[in-house]
Amino acid sequence: MDAQAWLVVNSLTGMGALRIAQLVARQPAWPAGWLAALPSRAANELRLWLEHPSRSPLQKVVDEALAWQQGGPSRHLLHRDHPAWPALLNELPDPPVVLWAQGDLGALEGPKLAMVGTRRPTGEGTHNAQTFARDLARRGWCVVSGMALGVDGVAQRAALAAGGRTVAVLGCGVDVIYPASHRDLHEQLSRLPGGLLLSEHPPGTIARPAFFPRRNRIVTGLSLGTLVVEATEKSGSLVSARLTLEQNRELFVLPGSLHNVQARGCLTLLRQGAAHLACSVDDIIADLGHWAEAFIPHHDAVQPSLSATPDSTAEQATLTENFPDPLLASLSATPTPIDLLVHATGVTVSDCQQRLLMLELEGWVSQQAGGWVRLPRS
């Protein structure tokens, strides 16, 4: 079946992603098998389009989609029979029938990991999203997210800045900028190598609340696993976490302070035993590496791992040089318990306590409920 046929099937009355997927599983021949298997109203609509396309309202849908596609070389219509169609989507009970794509289809190559989280991340959450996305990109992984405020946007910007691949699945048309404050990110995803916008909605479709939970199934469905960076107990990111588990994919979360409201959703997932604890990208690749091998072209060079600890990047190394004690690089505005600090730095408990005391006297750190924080410097 070609793009026109899938566009028509996608527009038939009374059909939806789930019913179409159930019909596809029966492998009906086109078009006779479809005409025999469809409900009567949908079959009549298809028959009219096949025999008299100019009289069928479905032809307008086809014409508009093809006209949009022909409007630029970075515009594509993806479907099950398209060579760039992500095969993992076919494992969903209700995969999208058609995906409008704008950008670099090469972004769909290689293994993918969804990154989701709160729209209001802490400073530590923002840093972690940047670090993990950058590390994944440098390791040949594609970051999949929804271009939302907060963790989504932070992760996707970091992946692009690292010269990697990232796919944004939208709850509106690919030509609609939502949220409006992400105009620059939308432009980058459309035009930079490795960036791609996807939507199951035709161009021009405005964002609606009901579209976003449905969008999330595509974000997780494209991916071998999902990483929740920060999430409150009622965060929409937990919808993505649930979908990940329902799709039999791996779920990962970053640890957070007990006193960080933005991390309580992650802690709940850990307490329930629903997710793997991820302290670095290596933890994720260790669990997914054997699955990811099928998606990594042999010519791709795998770059060395970049740990999620603060001294793992050149940026952090430069920052550490300005600190009187390297211990400060392991602290942030979020309280860090001393046991985690000892584990992260490899120093002894007594040494850590003595150094923290000196740093506190010098005005660099403060002990708060839940652990130690690095104080801002004027």
**Over 50: is that where the pLDDT of 371 sits?**
yes
196 — pLDDT class (breaks 50, 70, 90): very high
Between β-strands 99-103 and 195-199, what pairing exists: parallel, antiparallel or unpaired? antiparallel
- My answer on whether 151 and 278 are in the same domain is yes
183-204 mean pLDDT: 96
- pLDDT value at residue 360: 81
The predicted pLDDT at position 333 comes to 76
- Report, as an integer, the average pLDDT of 48-72: 96
More confident residue, 279 or 371: 279
Output the CA torsion sign for 357, 362, 363, 365.
Answer: negative
pLDDT in tens, 137-150: 999 999 999 999 99
* 283, 316: one domain: no
Q: Which residue has the higher pLDDT, 34 or 332?
A: 34
SS3 for the chain is: CCHHHHHHHHHCCCCCHHHHHHHHCCCCCCCHHHHHHCCHHHHHHHHHHHHCHHHCCHHHHHHHHHHHHCCCCCEEEECCCCCCCCHHHHHCCCCCCCEEEEECHHHHCCCEEEEECCCCCCHHHHHHHHHHHHHHHHCCCEEEECCCCCHHHHHHHHHHHCCCEEEEECCCCCCCCCCHHHHHHHHHHHHCCCEEEEECCCCCCCCCCCHHHHHHHHHHHCCCEEEECCCCCCCCHHHHHHHHHHCCCEEEECCCCCCCHHHHHHHHHHHCCCCEECCCHHHHHHHHHHHHHHHCCCCCCCCCCCCCCHHHCHHHHHHHHCCCCHHHHHCCCCCECHHHHHHHHCCCHHHHHHHHHHHHHCCCEEEECCEEEECCCC
pLDDT above 90 covers a percentage of the chain that reads 66
Would 86 be classed as within a structural domain?
yes
What is the bridge-based pairing of β-strands 75-78 and 99-103? antiparallel
Whether pLDDT at 341 is above 70: yes
Separation between Cα atoms, residue 53 and residue 68, nearest integer Å: 19
Q: Are residues 138 and 250 in the same domain?
A: yes
| 223 shares its domain with 336 | no
Please tell me the predicted confidence (pLDDT) of residue 293: 72
* Structural domain span for residue 351: 310-374
From CA 58, how far away is CA 65, in angstroms rounded?
11
CA distances (Å), 325 to each of 17, 303, 320, in order? 57, 30, 8
The pLDDT of residue 365 is 86
Q: Which of 56, 75, 103 is the C-terminal boundary of a domain?
A: 103
pLDDT tens by residue, 94-106: 999 999 999 999 9
Say which amino acid occupies 276: H
Predicted confidence at residue 378, as pLDDT, reads 58
In terms of pLDDT, which residue wins out, 367 or 27?
27
**What is the percent of the chain where pLDDT is above 70?**
91
Indicate the residue among 103, 126, 147 that finishes a domain.
103
C-alpha span between 250 and 224 (Å, rounded): 7
- 333 & 271 share domain: no
CA-closest candidate to residue 171, choices 137, 216, 134, 130: 216
- Predicted TM-score (pTM) of the model is 0.78
| Average of per-residue pLDDT values in the chain | 88
Give the bridge partners for 310, in sequence order. Answer: none
In a domain, 91, yes or no: yes
Q: Does residue 302 form part of some domain?
A: no
pLDDT, tens digit, 9 for 90 and up, residues 239-277: 999 999 999 999 999 987 777 888 889 999 988 998 999
Are 289 and 321 in the same domain? no
Verify that 269 and 352 share a domain, yes or no.
no
Higher pLDDT, 285 or 309: 285
Residues 133 and 270 placed together within one structural domain of the fold: yes
Same domain, yes or no: 90 and 11 = yes
Report residue 300's pLDDT band, with 50, 70 and 90 as the boundaries.
very low
Residue 250: per-residue pLDDT: 95
Residue 298 to residue 120: CA distance in whole angstroms: 39
Can you give the pLDDT at residue 236? 84
What is the mean pLDDT of the segment spanning 48-74?
96
What average pLDDT does this structure show over 78-103? 96
| Residue 370: pLDDT band with limits 50, 70, 90 | low
291 confidence band (pLDDT: 50, 70, 90): confident
Give yes or no: residues 133 and 269 share one domain. Answer: yes
Residue 119, classified by CB atoms within 10 Å of its CB into exposed (0-12), middle (13-18) or buried (19+), is middle
Cα–Cα distance between 162 and 138 in angstroms, integer?
A: 7
Residues 58 and 91 in one domain: yes
Instruction: Give the pLDDT score at 83.
Output: 94
The CA distances from residue 342 to 17, 335, 338, 345, 361, in Å, are 51, 14, 6, 5, 20
pLDDT at 314: 46
What is d(CA 302, CA 92) in angstroms, rounded to the nearest whole number?
Answer: 29
Which residue, of 58, 84, 103, is where some domain finishes?
103
Question: For residue 135, what is the domain's CATH number?
Answer: 3.40.50.450
Question: Omega of the bond prior to 57 within 30 degrees of 0, cis?
Answer: no
Q: How many domains does the chain have?
A: 3
Q: Does residue 118 share a domain with residue 197?
A: yes
Q: Which residues, in sequence order, are bridge partners of residue 226?
A: 114, 251
Only one residue has tokens 């318990």, namely: 337
Structure tokens at 135: 């590390």
pLDDT of residue 299: 39
Confidence at 296, pLDDT banded by 50, 70, 90: low
Within-domain flag for 303: no
Closest to 147 in 3D by CA, of 123, 183, 122, 111: 183
